[in-house]
């Protein structure tokens, strides 16, 4: 519904609730701090501060907020973990991603042409794991800057012949800030100069203490190049995933985050979406950041056309009117008219933001949480 409480409205206007209550009283409305205000009152108050309120925008925000709280415990089901790989340059992130993907492609999928869509899924003992193969740092910085949290578990790759380096420390800080559990993959163990003890020693100084040394950080020795230790690593990911109790409701309209997006000459706007809740279907009316449309076609990480995508699944979609940005949130609306309305309101809002950068208090400030 398109209402706000007095305190919510006060927050958006960066005013004291008492001031809003006084103004309401002046307008003949007796309100308490938690009282829901109707559209008319919101418009009156906002107008008094020189702020214009657009109906679509209010629907937009409350809709997105309502979404967060809508799932009942009994509707939730276990979902696959979403894993990112971080570490210093040349420590073996790309090699590890390739190695995991190659070892775990199932027989039935072996013929499939793997396709780069920014993420892929493997299956191990009937359980799926999603890996983002955008550079881990970018996944954290650009996405988190846009308020998106997509990673459940992070693999910190440290080359055993090189040890902890500046980007290793940066990665640890990102993961800690996001409160994402870290599994350490001590890589390049096949090298003669490998010194895993040194890696453990150095990481201890950054608060990552191996279980063997009385800490609670999982360390796995691997050689991404030779494929050694990959099974152990996958087992540990499954273990951590179970502890985290990751859940979603597959029986609802989809919601999630843009992993990558680009303009394709032939297909138009192409976006890789990570479904974080619900199930995405071909034909769904969808709002993606400031863009909107209908899901025209979906392709999975094996380059196959699919009709549905459940929680933690990455899919590449076409059908959006423009190209969204990595980190943008997306949401499916059952009502296509609403999707269009919200999409248009958002894109108008963005255009206005660019125009009225200098004006002090406007729509952008009022609804900057969207």
Give me the residues that bind Mg ion (CB under 5 A), please. Answer: 93-94
Choosing among ligand GDP, Mg ion, none, which partner's interface includes residue 92 (Cβ < 5 to 8 Å by kind)? ligand GDP
Q: Which stretch binds ligand GDP (CB under 6 A): 20-28, 43-51, 87-95, 345-353?
A: 87-95
At closest approach, how far in Å is the CB of 172 from ligand GDP? 15
Ramachandran bin of 347, using left for φ above 0, alpha for ψ from -120 to 50, beta for the remaining angles: alpha
Q: Please identify, using beta-carbon distances, which residue of 99 and 329 lies nearer to ligand GDP.
A: 99
Cite the annotated binding site for GTP by residue number. Answer: 87-94, 133-137, 187-190
334 token code pair: 């059952």
Question: What is the rounded CA–CA span in Å between residue 88 and residue 314?
Answer: 25
Choosing among ligand GDP, Mg ion, none, which partner's interface includes residue 90 (Cβ < 5 to 8 Å by kind)? ligand GDP
Q: Which stretch binds ligand GDP (CB under 6 A): 82-90, 118-126, 272-280, 341-349?
A: 82-90
Q: Which stretch binds ligand GDP (CB under 6 A): 18-26, 91-99, 137-145, 244-252?
A: 91-99
Q: Please identify, using beta-carbon distances, which residue of 52 and 90 lies nearer to ligand GDP.
A: 90
Choosing among ligand GDP, Mg ion, none, which partner's interface includes residue 267 (Cβ < 5 to 8 Å by kind)? none
Cite the annotated binding site by residue number. Answer: 87-94, 133-137, 187-190
Among residues 130, 168, 187, 249, which is the contact residue for ligand GDP, using CB under 6 A? 187
Q: Which stretch binds ligand GDP (CB under 6 A): 8-16, 144-152, 185-193, 292-300?
A: 185-193
Q: Is 346 in the site for ligand GDP (CB under 6 A)?
A: no
Q: Is 100 in the site for ligand GDP (CB under 6 A)?
A: no
Q: Is 340 in the site for ligand GDP (CB under 6 A)?
A: no
Choosing among ligand GDP, Mg ion, none, which partner's interface includes residue 238 (Cβ < 5 to 8 Å by kind)? none
At closest approach, how far in Å is the CB of 345 from ligand GDP? 41
The full 3-state SS of the chain, as one line of letters, equals CCCEEHHHHHHHCCCCHHHHHHHHHHCCCCCCCCCEECHHHHHHHHHHCCCCCCHHHHHHHHHHHHHHHCCCHHHCEECCCEEEEEECCCCCHHHHHHHHHHHHCCHHHCCCCCCCCCEEEEEECCEEEEEECCCHHHHHHHHHHCCCCCCCEEEEEEECCCCCCHHHHHHHHHHHHCCCCEEEEEECCCCCCCCHHHHHHHHHCCCCCEHHHCCCEEEEECECCCCECHHHHHHHHHHHHHHHCCEECCCCECEEEEEEEEEECCCEEEEEEEEEECEEECCCEEEECCEEEEEEEEECCCCCEECEECCCCEEEEEEECCCCCCCCEEEECCCHHHHHHHHHHHHHHHHHHHHCCCCCCCHHHHCCCC
Among residues 79, 104, 174, 188, which is the contact residue for ligand GDP, using CB under 6 A? 188
Q: Is 229 in the site for ligand GDP (CB under 6 A)?
A: no
At closest approach, how far in Å is the CB of 255 from Mg ion? 30
At closest approach, how far in Å is the CB of 154 from Mg ion? 15
Q: Is 92 in the site for ligand GDP (CB under 6 A)?
A: yes
Question: What is the rounded CA–CA span in Å between residue 4 and residue 8?
Answer: 6
At closest approach, how far in Å is the CB of 223 from Mg ion? 16
Question: What is the rounded CA–CA span in Å between residue 240 and residue 281?
Answer: 30
Q: Please identify, using beta-carbon distances, which residue of 43 and 202 lies nearer to ligand GDP.
A: 202
Q: Is 158 in the site for ligand GDP (CB under 6 A)?
A: no
Q: How far is CA 251 from CA 70, 74, 152, 332, 366, in A?
A: 12, 12, 21, 13, 33
Q: Is 223 in the site for ligand GDP (CB under 6 A)?
A: yes
Q: Which stretch binds ligand GDP (CB under 6 A): 13-21, 76-84, 86-94, 335-343?
A: 86-94
Q: Please identify, using beta-carbon distances, which residue of 170 and 336 lies nearer to ligand GDP.
A: 170
Among the listed residues 135, 191, 184, 188, the one whose alpha carbon sits nearest the alpha carbon of residue 159: 188
The residues, ordered by sequence, that sit 6+ positions from 359 with a Cβ below 8 Å of its Cβ are none
Among residues 94, 114, 149, 201, which is the contact residue for ligand GDP, using CB under 6 A? 94
Q: Which stretches of the chain bind ligand GDP, using CB under 6 A?
A: 87, 89-95, 187-188, 190-191, 223-225
């Amino acid at each position: 519904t398109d209402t706000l409480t007095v305190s919510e409205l006060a927050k958006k206007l960066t005013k004291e609730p008492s001031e809003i209550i006084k103004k309401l009283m002046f307008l003949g409305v007796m309100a308490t701090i938690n009282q829901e205000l109707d559209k008319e009152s919101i418009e009156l108050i906002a107008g008094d501060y020189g702020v214009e309120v657009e109906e679509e925008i209010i629907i937009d925000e409350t809709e997105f907020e309502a979404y967060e709280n809508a799932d009942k415990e009994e509707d939730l089901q276990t979902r696959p973990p979403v894993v990112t790989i971080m570490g210093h340059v040349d420590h073996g992130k790309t090699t590890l991603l390739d190695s995991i993907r190659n070892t775990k492609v199932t027989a039935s999928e072996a013929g499939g042409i793997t396709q780069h869509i920014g993420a892929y899924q493997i299956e191990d003992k009937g359980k799926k794991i999603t890996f983002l193969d955008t550079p881990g740092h970018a996944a954290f910085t650009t996405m988190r800057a846009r308020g998106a949290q997509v990673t459940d578990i992070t693999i910190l790759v440290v080359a055993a012949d090189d040890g902890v380096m500046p980007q290793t420390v940066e990665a640890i800080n990102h993961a800690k800030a996001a409160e994402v559990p870290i599994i350490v993959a001590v890589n390049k163990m096949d090298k003669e100069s490998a010194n895993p003890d040194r890696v453990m020693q150095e990481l201890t100084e950054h608060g990552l203490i191996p279980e063997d040394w009385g800490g609670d950080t999982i360390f796995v020795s691997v050689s991404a190049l030779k494929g050694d230790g990959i099974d152990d690593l996958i087992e540990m990911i499954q273990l951590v995933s179970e502890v985290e109790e990751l859940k979603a409701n597959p029986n609802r309209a989809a919601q999630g985050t843009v992993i990558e997006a680009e303009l394709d000459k032939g297909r138009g706007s192409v976006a890789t979406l990570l479904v974080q809740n619900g199930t995405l279907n071909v034909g769904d009316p969808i709002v993606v950041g400031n863009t909107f449309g209908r899901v025209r076609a979906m392709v999975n990480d094996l380059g196959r056309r699919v009709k549905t995508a459940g929680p933690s699944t990455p899919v590449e979609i076409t059908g959006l009117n423009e190209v969204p940005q990595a980190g943008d949130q997306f949401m499916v609306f059952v009502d296509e008219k609403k999707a269009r309305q919200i999409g248009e309101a958002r894109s108008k809002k963005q255009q206005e933001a660019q125009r009225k950068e200098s004006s002090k208090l406007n729509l952008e400030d009022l609804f900057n949480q969207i």
